[in-house]
Amino acid sequence: MHIGLLGPLRVDQSGVSVVPTAGKPRKVLALLACRADRLVSVEALIEEVWGEHPPRSVQTTLQTYVLQLRGCIATALGGQSPADLPFGSKSVLVTEPGGYLLDTQGGSLDCVEFELLGRRGHRAMDNGDFAGASVTFRQALDLWRGPALVDVQCGSLLEAEARALEESRLSILGRRIEADLRLGRHHELVGELAGLCVQHPLHEGLQGQLMLALYRAGRRSTALETYQRLRTVLSRELGLDPSPELRELQSALLDADPGLDLARTGAPGRLLRAI
């Protein structure tokens, strides 16, 4: 089984999609896929699908959805029961005491591959291999096909799963940009960072990276304007000032601090590490 959560939901059995079109069975499958190879309790499935107001017939209805999903899996198996799946679809969507388990049979999950690549990229950064880190982080980000679970009407549990995945994506994106800044690719990054800062106007890390890229590209006044814009938005939306790191970066921009320049070795100054 191959599962994709980084974009529209994908669950393929034997190369055939088993994702139903109906919204509620799709939710059930999505939660099972997010927690693949682990028991998902009946209570968790009910909470995800119906929230705080389940119908009286909720147990029967949930069992009906499970049967529908098993029907999709059976169709993908072509009606056969391979030796490693002696009970056919019931060996894939397994009934356990208190809940259900989606058995991937050693298949792949794109979110797991994303995490593995992310860890590999972090190790490369720690070892000073910024070019290798940039490549690895890009490979991780290339696994994304859109917002996490974009085609699922998420309840509270799936919302939390999707949010966590999106936060991980944003973290890896920031690290990839950091690697590229360390490699002196500031001219290439200005446009990308400008777009990201519009999407995430309160994200101080991205704003700081944009300020640094602009400065290194010879656009100090625009970098300072970026800081002023961030300060205005933070004050209006949250009643906060920029972080000490951002204030330090602004001061360095005003002073044209040599620490902002890319060192000949490719290593960043302390101000880049701070953001």
Q: Is residue 254 part of a domain?
A: yes
Please tell me the predicted confidence (pLDDT) of residue 264: 41
Any idea which of 126-130, 178-182, 258-262 has the lowest mean pLDDT?
A: 258-262
pLDDT digits (tens, 9 = 90+) for 3-12: 999 999 999 9
60 has pLDDT over 90: yes
Q: Is residue 208 part of a domain?
A: yes
Among 85, 105, 125, residue at a domain's last position: 105
d(CA 229, CA 137): 29
d(CA 234, CA 247): 13
Average pLDDT of every residue of the chain: 93
Can you give the residue range of the structural domain that contains 215? 184-275
Domain total of the chain? 2
- With a CB cutoff of 8 Å and minimum separation 6, the contacts of 241 are 231, 234, 235, 247
d(CA 64, CA 53): 18
d(CA 176, CA 92): 37
Q: Is residue 17 part of a domain?
A: yes
108-109 β-sheet, strand order: 16-17, 10-13, 2-4, 108-109
Among 54, 83, 105, residue at a domain's last position: 105
pLDDT digits (tens, 9 = 90+) for 180-230: 999 999 999 999 999 999 999 999 999 999 999 999 999 999 999 999 999
**Count of C-beta atoms within a 10 Å radius of residue 130:** 21
Q: Is residue 144 part of a domain?
A: no
179 has pLDDT over 90: yes
Q: Is residue 247 part of a domain?
A: yes
**Count of C-beta atoms within a 10 Å radius of residue 211:** 29
Among 40, 71, 105, residue at a domain's last position: 105
Per-residue CA distances from 82 to 12, 88, 105, 179, 197 (Å)? 16, 7, 12, 47, 51
The long-range contacts involving 198-204, CB below 8 angstroms and separated by at least 24 positions, are 200/170, 201/230, 201/233, 202/233, 202/234, 202/237, 202/238, 203/170, 204/230, 204/242, 204/243, 204/245, 204/246, 204/275
Predicted TM-score of the model (pTM): 0.90
For position 221, which CATH number holds?
Answer: 1.25.40.10
Question: 96: which strand partners?
Answer: 99
Strands 40-41, 99-102: parallel, antiparallel or unpaired by DSSP? antiparallel
Q: Is residue 78 part of a domain?
A: yes
Any idea which of 103-117, 118-132, 252-266 has the lowest mean pLDDT?
A: 252-266
Q: Is residue 136 part of a domain?
A: no
For position 15, which CATH number holds?
Answer: 1.10.10.10
Which token pair is 219?
């656009």
What whole-number percentage of the chain has pLDDT above 90? 89
Q: Is residue 140 part of a domain?
A: no
